[in-house]
Structure formats: C-alpha cells, structure tokens
Amino acid sequence: MKIRLFVVMLVAISFLKVNAQNFEFGKVSIAELEEKNHTIDTSAVAAILFKKGKTDFSYAEGSGFSTFNVYEFRIKIYKKEGLSWANQKVSYYVGYENLNDDKVRFSSAITYNLENGKIVKTKLNSEGAFNTKINKFWNQATITLPNVKVGSVIEFKYVLESENVVRLPDFDFQFDIPVNFFEYRTEIPEFFIYSSSLKGNVKIDTEVEVIDSGKRYAYGFKQINKVCNSRNIPALKNEKFVDNTSNYSGSIVNELKRGRFPNSPVVDYASSWEGVAKTIYKDKNFGDELKLNDYFSEDLKVLLQDISDPKMRLNIVFKFVQNRMNWNKELGYYVDKGVEKAYQERTGNVAEINFILISMLKTVGIKVNPVLVSTIENGISIFPNRTGFNYVIAAAEINGEKILLDATNRFTTPNILPLNLLNWKGRLIREDGFSEAIELIPAIISDDDYTLKATIKPDSGKIEGKLTVNRTDYSAFNFREINANKPQDIYIEGLENDLNKIEIKDYSIKNKKENLAEPVVENFNFTSNNSFDVIQENIYLNPILFFTDIKNPFIQEEREMPIYFGYPHRYIYNVTLELPDGYIVESLPEPKQIALENKEAMFTMSVINKEDKILIKLEKEINKPVFAVTDYIMLKDFFNKMIVSQNEKIVLKKI
C-alpha cells in the first residue's frame, strides 16, 4: 500500500514538473510538438498553451507614472484552420491630448517545429513585423510568424507601454480556442486604487499581498501585488444571434478609482456617465462646433419657406443633410476638419454630419441634443469612460416625444437607426451638464407581411401564384441596406434559391431607394416545383409552402451568451390556396397558439377550408430583442414547437 501511494505521489510530482516547464517561456517541449489534438477539446484548431501578463509602473520626472504591460504567449496549431494564429495584431492608442502615444514592441517571436525528432526554431525577421495607422486615435502593431504549419508551436512576447494610468489594458483570457493556463500579475504602487471587474463566466483564483517596495522612486512606499490565474478555459464557441462576443468573453478590467499621493489630497477618479458626458461636451471639438450656424443660413432660408409644422421641418432638414452629406466612414464623437469645412466639401465623419443636423434643427426652433453611442462593434463599457463611446447621433424632441436621428446613412429615417447602433443605451447630453440615458433598442415592431395566392396543379406537380411582400421600419431598412445597390437579376436569383428553387416572373418593387418612410413592397408571380408530395394520389403540403422553417437555429444543449435579435420583429403570412379540381380536404393542421411569458415571443396559426379555398393565417413574433442566457432552454423549446406546427401537413384527397 505504501509503495502504491509512493508511486502515485511520484507520478503527481512528475506531472506538476512537466506542467511547470510548459508554462515557462522559451521552454517548448517535444511532447507539445508531438501533440495531435487538444486533450480536452478535440475539435480545437489551435490552443493557447499559456498566456502570461504582468503590469507594473515606472516613474519619470516631468511625465510622471507610466505602465509597462508585458505579455507572453505560447500557442499550439492543431489544424490548418488554426494557421491564422500566426498573424498577431495589437491595437494601441495614439489620440491622447496631454499624454504621449502608447507604444507596442514585439520580441522573442519564434516558431518551433519538430523535424527528424529534433526541435527546429525559426525566428521572426524584420519583414514579418510592421505598424499601421488605423485612424487618428489608433495604430496597430502586427507580426506574422514564419514557417508555421500544422503541428507548430509559436511563442511571442510584446510590451505595451502607456502613460494612461486611469484605465489599464484589459487582460483577455478567453478566446475562440481553448486556453490551458493564464496568469496575470499586477504590481501597483499604493498611490493608485483600482476598481477591478471580471467579465465572462470563468472562475479564477486570486492572491493579493502588500509588500514594501523599497526606495524605487527616492522614497519608500507599499505595493499591492495581485496574481490572477486559471486553467482549462474553454473556447467561447460561435453562437447565433450574438451582438458582440467580446462582451461575454473572459477578461480582467481595471479602472482607476482613487489617487492618494504623499503630502497631497486624495483625488477621486471614479466618474459617472454624467461626468464623462460633461467633459466631452466642454471639448472644443464637440461643444464649440455645435454653436456654429452661419455656414448654412442661406440654404436654410430656401429650404423652409412657409413651413411651420415642427415635424415637417424636422423631416425636411433631416432629408437635406442626409442627401447633401457623404459619410467618410470615420467614427467618433469629435469633429476632424470641423463642421463648416465638412459642409462646404459635402463630406465628413459621424460627428461632423450629425452636428450639422443638430445645429440646423436648433436654428429652426426644434429642441435637439447630441446622444453619445457605442456601436455594437465597440462593445458595452463596464466603467464610465470616454472610450466607452465611439459615435454620436441626434435626439430631437417634439411634443414630448424623443426622435432619434442619424444622417450618415442613406436609408435611415427618423427613429430608424443603423443596426449597429441598437446597442443597449446612449447618453444624451446638454450644454448645461444635464445627462440622461437613452434607450437604443427599439420598442416598435417591424413587420414582414407576406400575402400569397396560389393554385395547386397536380398534373404538372407545380404550384403557381402571386406573392406580395410588405416590409416596414427596421425590416425595410435592413432590406434596403443589403439590396439597394444589388442588380435586380442577382437579387431575384438569390431569392429563387432561398425559396426552394421557385421560378419568379413579372417582378416589381416599390420604395427600394425612395420614400424611405414607406414600406418596401415587392410583387411577383411564381412557379414552385417542390412544394407538395403526392402519396397514393393524395396531396401533402405545408401550410406556408416554401416559407416553412425546417431547422431550429438553437441546437446547442447549453448557451453561453445572451440571445440578441436586434429589434422586435413580426412575420405575417396570409396564404390562399385554391383547391384543384377533383380534390377535397381530408385533414388540416389544428389551430395553434404558442406564447412565452409576457408574450415575449408568440406563434399563432389557423388553417380553414372555405368553399374551394384553404385560408391560412400564420404569425411569428419576437417582441423581446434580447433574451438572457437563462431564457435559452425556454426559447429553444418555443422554436421547436413552432417548427413542428409549421410542418404539420394539409392533406387533399382525390375523389
């Protein structure tokens, strides 16, 4: 018994030693190179064997404190789909007003391969590293490791140096590939007190100790050392209906809460969104630009002759700015060249175009204020900070109703915003410092309304008919965004394929690029060759034919991220089927009504036989744009039941 216990302990000690070596930078093992699949997630195309990070501080006379953030990676490539991990990009901020630009330096970038039983190293040369400018605020450092193939192990290190001590770089530790181990160390002088938050659902271990740092800055002080780590972090799998995966991936976030320096009063850095918004408004590239109005005065006089109704004024001004200005695709809430120059050149960034809109509306007597927004791609910020926003829109108010406006897009209308702005809440700000949260997720339901009249042709095996489609609000906007500039023949070909290979003739469309406040209306005749089966002379077909849902989009047993639909959406199908000669109705699907709690999602279907016709009315509604993870099983079950009902057959009997 003692011998067996000794052997077990010996094996355990050996295992710990191997793992300790694996987590040491520069010590790649033959075992790692020989590994064919990830030991836990065999589907993984690659894995981060470890990621280590360390943040500490330095001090320089004149510039003050800086942070040095050092990161070490070791990554194993299992499949060809994982080769993209040889390309590494790090974005860093260069848009500070009173601080020097951040700096990023890569080093120790090596590819390891196993050749004839020996480890062969290939080092990164200067051609594989470069820096690019993303915009006026961000640069990007990039490396491409050489000689990477399936089976390779790559290692690299980089340092991010920053004078921004208010927000430490987020330490991400969950990706779309598994992470075997991560460790993040912070060594923070007692002068800085940070609020630390954990994003995602991964549990981590944390140790904190306070030590005497010695006289690093000509005087002694205490230092708070913190170590966070965890093992076997699963890959964050791709899931349908997700706004931004990075909102839910594991990450450690540190924001400066308080500064307490020797012989100085305590300084509170913790701010509210109101404080952030007020600071932004005071900036000369924000508030001062909103005050300018002389540059458009002559155009405005011509534009609004004899028009006094506020909503008409709003619509005319909005359309004028939308048509005059061309967005240069640059985001942000500060102007670049300024509103006056942008107006003259008819092109500008988000702030310039929407500031012109705000100023013109104010000039014609409409109450309006800017609203700061974070796009879906920018994520949702945990702490109030200036980088939490990257967009600005307008909020007009008429008779107590707030109307949200964005003139950068050719297809927006009042209260219809680009889809990537439907992201939680914006922040309305006024010059007097007032601030309030603005709901960006729309409450209005958008419709796709299908009216279909068809005749069944048993002899030819076809169904022929006419279809009219009405799309409203966000459904119409989305259609225009995707299809406005698509050639009609290409669109029709895609539509035919989407609707189970039907043939479309006499296609027409209204309000595709014009009359944006009106529904998009499509009309066409169709012939379907695949919409019913004949078994022993009986005809079997689905109530809504080629619109029938076949597969549940929610197939996972469990869900990791909230379900994001973007906006309330309703699909309405009114189908009239003419009975073919020589047939009668043998059976029809039972009426169905399925609803989640509080009618957050609903499904209704009725099928009736009236004289020589079958009348089908089917509605699907998603009334809640975002569902919590805890609602997943309920929502999955709802979709299952809805699909089963849609696939119940109409049976026609030959007489």
pTM: 0.90
Q: What is the pLDDT of residue 22?
A: 63
DSSP string, 8-20: HHHHHHHHHHHHH
Q: What is the pLDDT of residue 366?
A: 97
* Helices H / strands E in the chain, number of each: 11, 36
* Structure token pair of residue 32: 């790692």
Which phi and psi (to 5°) does residue 361 adopt? -65, -40
Number of other residues whose CB lies within 10 A of the CB of residue 218 = 6
Q: What is residue 310's three-state secondary structure?
A: helix
Q: What is the pLDDT of residue 349?
A: 97
Q: What is the pLDDT of residue 362?
A: 97
DSSP string, 229-251: EEEEEPP----SS-S-GGGTS-E
Helix or strand run (H / E) with residue 650: strand 650-654
Q: What is the pLDDT of residue 216?
A: 62
* Structure token pair of residue 642: 């809805």
Contact 530, 547 (CB under 8 A): no
* Structure token pair of residue 526: 């169709």
Q: What is the pLDDT of residue 21?
A: 44
Residues in the chain, pLDDT under 50: 1-21
The one-character DSSP state at 413 is: B
Q: Rg (Cα) of the chain, in Å, rounded?
A: 31
Helix or strand run (H / E) with residue 297: helix 297-303
Q: What is the pLDDT of residue 215?
A: 61
Contact 392, 339 (CB under 8 A): no
Structural domains of the chain, with CATH = 29-267 (2.60.40.3140), 276-439 (3.10.620.30), 446-654 (2.60.120.1130)
